[in-house]
């Protein structure tokens, strides 16, 4: 029958002969295979056939099976997931496009095979070049379709005995527990996942989180689904059971298939008809697909079932977390905190589950028992979940436990979390760290301590810098940045003496102090060399562009940056442009527009050449981003349309199209974690204050829609702020 299938294909595509023998396929260890035994094959799909050209490629599209079942024909080849319920796309993809020759399980592509003999071939489909540019090519299927088929392999499927199943489970589990060979572990997991047996399911659950993707996929394919559903729910509370977010969603998937009817089949739409009409200035009404009552009812039932089941399973997990073994407990914390955060971003947002306070207390109590490798991520999750000041001591314990030689990330996360729940305590910690010889403090942490909250401490700051500059000193850059932000004007003579005594006169952080306290002095430094746009500036120039504006900005520094937007060196120019976009005022816009127009005029008519110039494209995007997404101003749609007309590269045009979409009313506001909030196209806003500053630049009456947890402290504060400015804010 397989030969007949091939002959039908040859006849159907006689104008483009089917290429046999160019794809190779062989079973690695041919023998009678037991049901559930892994069948490994090597398939080689060359990227191009000997008869083809560089403009042709071949793509593996599945397996032909004789006798065919629910799949296996050329019209419906067996492809990944044919075993039913399996989601193997994250596990392995078989031969894909370019020449690939590796061993992979045929079982993942074939449906569960009954006893008997089967013939299998690999099928590939021809791709032709549809577009090309430097570094990238696009392909599409040939028209009419052209196929290639491998040689045929024969499979014999026999019964699996109980002894063989038991031995295979034991052998696979032992390999997963003890082998240091990744490939051996992977193959053992693949074999275990193919055994449709309760003992194999239990072994898989015992082994989690090892090879979790493979083992959960095997559980998802288990039959009957009702038995797998019951087992997975029973195991949630087991002390040693690892329950990840992936585990939860597998439970939902398996139990839904076990307990809900399949989705109703929707009739295919009628054949399209040609519609004739007259042109009109009146917009045509938008076509709305009719709601199918049967599908609507099924969707409502499915949603209600899955929501209730998720609530039940997470409640069970939360009740058991205190008794979990250490590794399983850490995984449970991750899963539960991720679930809370997902509820908060749902549309509409859902209230926090009743178990959250108890789980948070358990986390605070047991955090130090979590393995070090997982602490940082867990702390990030917890910090984004808990908003109670009761958690402040837990964050302070993380800060107290830091010692030189430890990683900094956990302390930085704890500080941000402490600032979230108790800003006064966070500021007190920063003040204490400012004058320590060795500290976990870093420059971004100083953003949490506004200068107005710092008492006069010139002597302490200067002494701290002196200690940092001694042999073995700690973070000179941090000590100088602290002076830049917090030293008073009274310290000016001493700080000038320090600056002028430095062997290395490049001190961008100390320069920020002068920008803030003595702008005339900083301007003399900036103008101490000729601003020659065709010569390299002093080495410190770029460092000043990068490190001084985050600490202080002045008219003279802005002019310094603006001048260098026309420099001949792309890196210097790009650095100045980025600094103006992030820290400049609206006074910087003319220089940015001039630079963007100059770029347009230079590259006009040379788009193909520009596409091969990566640094040139990046500069164009830096220029357009500085204008269109600058922190110190808001651009209009007219400005964006002008940018659109000046763009040369596709990247520039794409970014502008994204901005135009983001600008649509009502203006979207997203409150997220550190550095991920945005207002319209203005992304990367690092704090609520940054979001409020951007909103304040819009005119009264501007309409905003707020995405995110509507009842969070930040959301409520932002709404009060915006409404106080005469803005209209809705929540979605």
Over residues 422-471, the pLDDT tens digits come to 899 999 999 999 999 999 999 999 999 999 999 999 999 999 999 999 99
Tokens representing 66 are 């004789």
**Beta carbons within 10 angstroms of residue 581's beta carbon:** 22
Neighbour-count burial for 95-111, b at 16+ CB within 10 Å, e otherwise: beeeebeeebbbbbbbb
pLDDT tier for residue 267 given thresholds of 50, 70 and 90: low
Neighbour-count burial for 244-274, b at 16+ CB within 10 Å, e otherwise: bebbbebbbbbbebeeeeeeeeeeeeeeeee
Q: In what order do the strands lie in the sheet with 703-707?
A: 682-685, 677-679, 667-670, 703-707, 728-731
Q: Looking at the predicted structure, is the pLDDT value of residue 715 above 80?
A: yes
Q: Looking at the predicted structure, is the pLDDT value of residue 37 above 90?
A: yes
Q: What is the CA radius of gyration of the chain?
A: 32
Lowest mean pLDDT among 24-38, 169-183, 711-725: 711-725
pTM of the model: 0.72
Tokens representing 98 are 């370019």
Q: Are 407 and 374 in contact (CB under 8 A)?
A: no
Nearest Cα neighbor of 518 from 535, 533, 499 is 499
Q: How far apart are CA 425 and CA 430, in angstroms?
A: 9
DSSP notation for 101-144: EEEEEGGGTSPPP-SEEEEEEEEEEEEEEEEEETTEEEEEE-SS
Q: Looking at the predicted structure, is the pLDDT value of residue 69 above 50?
A: yes
Q: Looking at the predicted structure, is the pLDDT value of residue 133 above 70?
A: no
Q: Are 243 and 328 in contact (CB under 8 A)?
A: yes
Q: How far apart are CA 422 and CA 442, in angstroms?
A: 20
Mean pLDDT of 6-23: 41
Question: Residue written as tokens 């970014």?
Answer: 655
Q: Looking at the predicted structure, is the pLDDT value of residue 713 above 90?
A: no
**Stronger pLDDT, 429 or 18, i.e. the higher one:** 429
Polymer length of the chain: 732
Could you give phi then psi for residue 212, rounded to 5 degrees? -60, -40
pLDDT tier for residue 279 given thresholds of 50, 70 and 90: very low
Question: Residue written as tokens 């994204």?
Answer: 658
Q: Looking at the predicted structure, is the pLDDT value of residue 472 above 80?
A: yes
pLDDT at 12: 30
- Pairing relation of β-strands 703-707 and 667-670? parallel
Over residues 476-507, the pLDDT tens digits come to 999 999 999 999 999 999 999 999 998 888 99
**Beta carbons within 10 angstroms of residue 30's beta carbon:** 13
Q: How far apart are CA 108 and CA 193, in angstroms?
A: 10
Q: Looking at the predicted structure, is the pLDDT value of residue 102 above 80?
A: no
pLDDT at 19: 47
């Amino acid at each position: 029958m397989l030969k007949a299938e091939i002959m039908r294909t040859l006849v159907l595509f006689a104008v483009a002969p089917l290429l046999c023998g160019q794809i190779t396929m062989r079973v690695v260890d041919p023998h009678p295979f037991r049901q559930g035994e892994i069948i490994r094959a090597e398939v080689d799909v060359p990227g191009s056939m000997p008869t083809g050209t560089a403009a042709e490629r071949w793509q593996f599209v599945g397996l032909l099976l004789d006798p065919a079942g629910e799949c296996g024909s050329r019209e419906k080849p067996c492809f990944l997931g044919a075993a039913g319920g399996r989601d193997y796309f994250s596990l392995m993809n078989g031969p894909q496009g370019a020449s690939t020759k590796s061993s992979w399980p045929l079982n993942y592509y074939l449906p569960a095979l009954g006893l008997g003999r089967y013939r299998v071939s690999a099928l590939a489909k021809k791709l032709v070049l549809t577009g090309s540019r430097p570094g990238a090519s696009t392909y599409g299927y040939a028209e009419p379709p052209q196929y290639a088929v491998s040689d045929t392999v024969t499979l014999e499927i026999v019964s699996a005995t109980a002894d063989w199943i038991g031995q295979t489970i034991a052998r696979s589990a032992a390999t997963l527990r003890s082998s240091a060979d990744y490939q051996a572990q992977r193959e053992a997991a693949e074999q275990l996942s193919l055994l449709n047996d309760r003992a194999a399911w239990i072994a898989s659950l015992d082994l989690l989180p090892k090879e979790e993707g493979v083992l959960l996929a095997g559980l998802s394919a288990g039959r009957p689904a009702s038995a797998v559903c019951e087992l997975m729910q029973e195991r949630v509370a087991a002390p040693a059971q690892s329950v990840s977010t992936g585990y939860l969603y597998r439970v939902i998937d398996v139990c839904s298939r076990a307990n809900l009817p399949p989705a109703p089949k929707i009739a295919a739409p009628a054949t399209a008809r040609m519609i004739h009409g007259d042109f009109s200035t009146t917009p045509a009404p938008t076509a709305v697909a009719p709601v199918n009552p049967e599908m609507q009812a099924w969707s409502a039932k499915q949603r209600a079932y899955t929501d209730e089941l998720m609530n039940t399973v997470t409640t069970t997990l939360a009740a058991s977390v205190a008794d979990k073994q250490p590794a399983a407990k850490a995984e449970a914390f991750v899963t539960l905190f991720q679930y809370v955060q997902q509820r908060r971003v749902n549309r509409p947002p859902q209230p926090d589950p009743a178990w959250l306070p108890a789980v948070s207390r358990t986390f605070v109590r047991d955090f130090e028992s979590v393995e070090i490798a997982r602490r940082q991520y867990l702390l990030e999750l917890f910090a984004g979940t808990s908003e109670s000041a009761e958690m402040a001591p837990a964050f302070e314990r993380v800060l107290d436990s830091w010692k030189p030689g430890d990683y900094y990330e956990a302390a930085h996360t704890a500080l941000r979390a402490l600032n979230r729940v108790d800003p006064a305590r966070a500021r007190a910690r920063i003040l204490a760290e400012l004058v320590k010889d060795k500290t976990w403090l870093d420059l971004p942490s100083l953003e949490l301590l506004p200068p107005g909250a710092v008492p006069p401490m010139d002597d302490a700051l200067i002494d701290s810098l002196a200690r940092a500059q001694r042999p073995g000193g700690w973070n000179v850059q941090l000590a100088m940045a602290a002076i830049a932000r917090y030293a008073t004007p009274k310290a000016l003579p001493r700080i000038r003496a320090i600056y002028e005594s430095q062997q290395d006169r490049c001190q961008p952080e100390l320069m920020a102090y002068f920008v803030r306290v003595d702008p005339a002095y900083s301007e003399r430094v900036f103008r101490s060399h000729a601003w020659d746009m065709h010569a390299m500036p002093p080495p410190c120039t770029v460092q000043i562009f990068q490190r001084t504006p985050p600490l202080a900005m002045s008219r003279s520094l802005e002019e310094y940056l603006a001048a260098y937007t026309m420099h001949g060196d792309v890196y210097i120019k790009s650095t100045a442009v980025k600094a103006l976009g992030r820290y400049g005022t609206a006074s910087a816009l003319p220089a940015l527009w001039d630079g963007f127009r100059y770029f347009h005029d230079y590259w006009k008519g040379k788009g193909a050449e520009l596409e091969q110039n990566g640094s040139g494209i990046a500069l164009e995007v830096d220029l357009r981003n500085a204008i269109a997404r600058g922190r110190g101003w808001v651009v209009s749609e007219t400005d964006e349309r002008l940018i659109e007309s000046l763009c040369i590269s596709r990247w520039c045009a794409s970014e502008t199209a994204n901005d135009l979409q983001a600008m649509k009313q009502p203006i979207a506001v997203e409150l997220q974690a550190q550095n991920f909030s945005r207002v319209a196209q203005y992304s990367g806003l690092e704090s609520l204050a940054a979001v409020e500053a951007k909103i304040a630049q819009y005119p009264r009456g501007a309409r905003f829609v707020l995405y995110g947890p509507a009842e969070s402290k930040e959301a409520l504060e932002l709404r009060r702020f915006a409404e106080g400015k005469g803005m209209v804010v809705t929540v979605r």
